[in-house]
Each structure stands twice: as C-alpha cells, then as structure tokens.
Amino acid sequence: MKEFFIRRDRSDAPQGAERRTLIRINDDGVILFADHHAEAVLGYDASELEGRKVQCILAARQDDPFAPAHRHRIENGESILITFRHKEGFFFTAGLSLRMDIRDSDQAASAFISQRDHSPIDHRLIRLTETSAGVGIWELDLHSNELIWTDGMYHLLELRPGSEITPEQALFYCQSSQGRIRALFRRCIRTGQPFSLTLDLITARQNVRQVTLTGRALKAGERIQRLGGTLVDRTPERNHTLARQQAEQMLGATINATNDLVVAVDHQLNLLHFNRAFSRQFELTFGFRPQSGSNLSAALQGFPNERRLIERLWHRAFERDSFVVEMPMAQQHRELPLYEIHYQRLTNDQGDVIGAVHVARDISDRLQNSSSSKYRVQHDPVTGLMNRKAFLGRLQRTLEHKPRRESSDSLLYLDLDGFDHFNEIAGSGTCDRYLRELAGNLGVKIRQRDALARLAGDTFALLIENCPEARARKIAD
C-alpha cells in the first residue's frame, strides 16, 4: 500500500501556489482513500474514488506510478511529473510524490494496543466512524458563537458537506423540539449540566429521522469555553422496534383468533407467548393465571405429577421436530377436557433449538358425539389408547406384510401386579385417573407410529415395528 501526494500548480495564482491532495493505493492498484481536497485537484469527490482502479485518473498506461520507470524514482524520494485525467475529461500535468510505503503483506508481529486519550485522531477515522455508526459531531464556541460540524452532521440532515447553514436554520429541521433544544443549551452554558434528548427531525429531503442529541460543557480551567456533543441516528433502532411490535401484534391477533390452546416456551420452559384460551384453561385447571416470562416448572411446583409429565413432553419436543399426544391438561378428581396436542420444535437460523410450541385442540365433543362411534369402537374409554380389538387388527396387518419386509418387529406385554387389590381399596375413580396418567407416561416413551393398547383392566401391549430385540429390551426396561 502506498500513499501519494498529487500537487497541481495553479496557472491563475501567484508562483508557488498549489493544490494538493492525498490518495492511498493498495498493491493491486485500487484507491483505498482520498482526502477532501480530491475534488479540487481531480474533480472527484473522495467517495467516488474509493474502491476504483487508479487508472481512472491517469491519462495513459505509461503514467502508472507502479510502472518500473516511475517506481524506482518515487521510492528514492523523487517527485515525478505525470499526466492525469480530470473528471470533466481534460488532461493536466501534476507532480506525484510518495508519502508512505507499506507492503500489504506485512505482518504485525510486534504490534500492540494502547489507549488513546488526548492525542488527536486522524480525520479519516472520524469520517469512517461517522459513516458506519450514523453519528455526527458538533462543537459550539461560546465567544465567537461559531458552530462547527463534521461531515456526519451534514449526512444526517441530508445536506451536502460544507453547505452554508446557520444555527437557526439548523433548528428548523427539529421543528417539534426547538424550544426544548434552546432550553438545554442555555442550561448547559449556565450550569455545565450535560444533556441528552431524543427527537424527530425532518431532513432536507423531507425524510423523518429519529435522533439523539447529546451535549456537554467543555471547560478551560473553571470556565465553560465551548459546548460539544453528538447527533446519533436512532432510525434503524426505531424501525426495528416498530417492526417487532407489529409482528407481536400480528402474532397476538392470530393466536387469539382461535379457541385452541397456543403456547410457546424457551429451552428453560419460560413462557414466551400464549393466547387467551390457554390462559383461561390454565387458570381453570390450576387456579391461577400464567404470566408471560414465568417458568412452567416453578409455576407448577404445587402439582408435581402434572409438572413432571409436562416437563417430559416439552423436553421430548426439544428433541423431535414434532409429535402429537391426546391427554387432558391435568389428572385431577374432576373431568377435564381431552386435548389433541401438537408439539413443534423451534430453531434459529443456525439450527439451534431455542424452544418449542404446542397447539392443543379440545376433542372431548368429538369423542362423545355420535360421529365418533368409530373412535369409541377402536379405543379404550378410560385411557384413550387402542383397545384389544383394534390392536389385534393392527397386529394381523403387520404379520400379513411381514414376508415382504426384512426388518424385525417387537411385541411388549405389560401386566400391573396387584391392580385388583388397588381397585378395591382406592375405588374405580382413582384407578381410572391412575390408568390415564400411566397411559400418558407410556405415550411419551414411544414413537407416534408405534401401537400402544390397553388389552384388559391391568394389561397393556406395545407393538414396535422395525425394532430389533436389543432395542426392544431397552425400551421395555
């Protein structure tokens, strides 16, 4: 990388008067930087030159400063004369000299970092900072009443850098806050108290921007000599906030338009979103309303059975793309609606699991009305699992297709010891609740395509297709 001074003598000025600009060129011949004098010498604004090949300002190939004929003289400290092409198309001769030479491949093996405090900062760094961060710097001299701006201030107001403008004209762009700004400046001059104000300004192109104006007193000794501060563009943040609010409003309107129970949690089971239907049913079931941001595990400490089952279901949702279960929200001494609950895993753009969502639909009426006669014929009325008849039909179909498949299937049988004695002591209502919770726990452990059935009062069976014996024993344990 090389930095060159281009010096152009002025024919209409006294002898010795010159215009000079600084350009920085990398080893590939690309212009990386031009100072603000580039327009006076070459006709180009600095931003127009940056990123372009140096040939755009040279009259011919022999004028290339990297050509061997020129490079050796320049590196020896000589100034050479070459012909440049002005933006307007005419040619002129100017002197070219080397200011700095740094190889692009140099290794910063001995580089170090130190804090900058009072030493001046290169204006090019300030301009880069202002451009990338959307900020401008201002300074007011209280003795001369002169207001100095950096390029960033002009860009925020969408004015051409260097445009003539008075402080009163500048206030015109802050129509709704002029009185407040004047009061803050007077207070800062009088007391030295810094200020910060967020306001809307209207640019020269009639665009609305939200900005934050800050200021503080700059003292020399004990006296306030100047005020200085920044103007920071907050428009992207405001637009992001508005977009997020609109998305949340749309999400809220969408999930509240259904009677299904919709809820989303993060990886720690904190409630992210839920609709009114879920809130009402949760309060009806557990006796209190859920709060956004609350932790489900902590909220259900008084309901240990439900808490454990709900935790298992959510953690299963984190591990799978999606699955469906049929169960009430809780196992209690009263009848509660039976829900078909669809769980769906949530991931970010990188594929990391950030939570899950479930949508629960009340299917109680579907199971009780006449149109659900087929369901009642095939399912156990207490647990909702497949009954003996339906299970035998499924088993028969599996055996019929077995000759055409090479995979192995497994059949598990579960018998509850002492169930009749438990039924006599606790009663049928308690036993039914126990069986429903047992069915829910078993359902969490299996795949959706597996066939789980209640064959009789205290016996269950599970048909697992495409499952070798070793895997089946592990599932059985």
Per-residue pLDDT of the chain (477 residues; tens, 9 = 90+): 788 889 987 555 455 456 889 999 888 889 988 888 898 899 998 888 988 999 999 988 888 888 887 888 888 888 888 899 999 988 888 989 888 766 544 444 445 555 566 667 777 788 888 888 899 999 999 888 888 889 999 999 999 888 888 888 888 898 888 999 999 999 999 999 999 999 999 999 999 999 999 999 998 888 899 999 999 999 999 999 999 999 889 988 988 899 999 999 999 999 999 999 999 999 988 889 999 899 999 999 988 888 888 899 999 899 888 888 877 877 665 677 888 899 999 998 888 899 999 999 988 776 665 445 666 778 888 888 888 888 998 898 888 877 666 778 899 999 999 888 888 888 877 888 888 888 888 887 787 788 999 988 889 999 998 888 888 898 888
Q: Cα 139 from chain centroid?
A: 36
Q: Which amino acid is at 413?
A: Y
- Residue 303 has what DSSP assignment? -
Same domain as 421, residue 333: no
CATH number of the structural domain spanning residue 359: 3.30.450.20
- Distance between CA atoms of 229 and 231, rounded to whole angstroms? 7
- Residue where a domain terminates, one of 322, 340, 366: 366
Contacts by residues 137-146 (CB-CB < 8 Å, ≥ 24 positions apart): 137/228, 137/229, 137/230, 137/231, 138/228, 138/229, 138/230, 138/231, 139/218, 139/226, 139/227, 139/228, 140/185, 140/226, 140/227, 140/228, 141/225, 141/226, 142/189, 142/224, 142/225, 142/226, 142/227, 143/225
List the one residue out of 382, 428, 438, 391 whose CA is nearest residue 412: 391
* Helix (H/G/I), strand (E/B), else coil: 189: helix
- Of 237, 235, 275, whose CA–CA distance to 255 is shortest? 275
Beta-strand relationship, 135-141 and 223-233: antiparallel
Any alpha helices (H) in 11-93, and if so which ranges? 38-42, 46-49, 68-75
Q: Are residues 313 and 268 in the same domain?
A: yes
Residues 293 and 392 placed together within one structural domain of the fold: no
Write the single-letter amino acid at 131. Answer: T
Same-domain pairing of 271 and 218: no
Residue type, 337: P
Query: Count of domains in the chain?
Result: 4
Say yes or no: 96 and 35 in one domain: yes
In a domain, 239, yes or no: no
C-alpha distance from residue 177 to each of 128, 136, 146, 183, 260 (Å): 29, 19, 21, 10, 48
For tokens 């609740």, the residue is 433
What is the residue range of 425's domain? 378-476
Token pair 């934050």 is found at 212
Question: How far, CA to CA in Å, does 274 sit from each of 243, 288, 359?
Answer: 20, 15, 10
d(CA 412, CA 425): 29
Answer yes or no: is 393 within a domain. yes
Q: Does residue 88 sit in the same domain as residue 164?
A: no
